[in-house]
Amino acid sequence: MNRRDFITSTAKAGLLFSLPIIPNKFLWVDGSTITFTLLHTNNLQSNLFPVKNEYDTERHTGGIGAHKKVIDDIVKNNPYTLLVDAGDFCGDGPVFDTFKGKAELEALKYLGYHAFTLGEKDFMAGIDHLANNLTLTGMKPVVSNYDFTHTALQNCYEPYKIIEWPNLKIGIMGIVLPLHDKISIPDKEKIVYLDAVEQANTTANYLKQKNCNMIICLSHLGDRYSDGNLSDEILAKNNYDIDVIVGGHTQRFFKQPRIYQNKSSGYTIVNQAGWGGVQLAQLDFEIDNKMNKNLLRTKNFLLKEKKNQ
| Contact in structure between 281 and 41 (CB atoms under 8 Å) | yes
Provide Rg for the chain, Cα atoms: 19
SS3 40: strand
- Phi first, then psi: what are they for 285, rounded to 5°? -120, 150
Arithmetic mean of pLDDT, 129-158: 98
pLDDT value of position 173: 99
Q: Is the dihedral of CA 248, 249, 255, 259 positive or negative?
A: negative
Provide the residue type at 205 as one letter: N
pLDDT tier at 111, thresholds 50, 70, 90: very high
Give yes or no for residue 305 having a pLDDT over 50: yes
Output the average pLDDT for the chain. Answer: 87
Domains detected in the chain: 35-306 (3.60.21.10)
The total number of residues shown for the chain amounts to: 309
| pLDDT top residue among 307 and 210 | 210
Q: Is the dihedral of CA 55, 74, 24, 217 positive or negative?
A: positive
Give yes or no for residue 262 having a pLDDT over 80: yes
Arithmetic mean of pLDDT, 161-175: 97
For residue range 270-282, list pLDDT tens digits in order: 999 999 999 999 9
For residue range 13-60, list pLDDT tens digits in order: 223 333 333 333 333 345 589 999 999 999 999 999 887 655 444 455
pLDDT value of position 94: 93
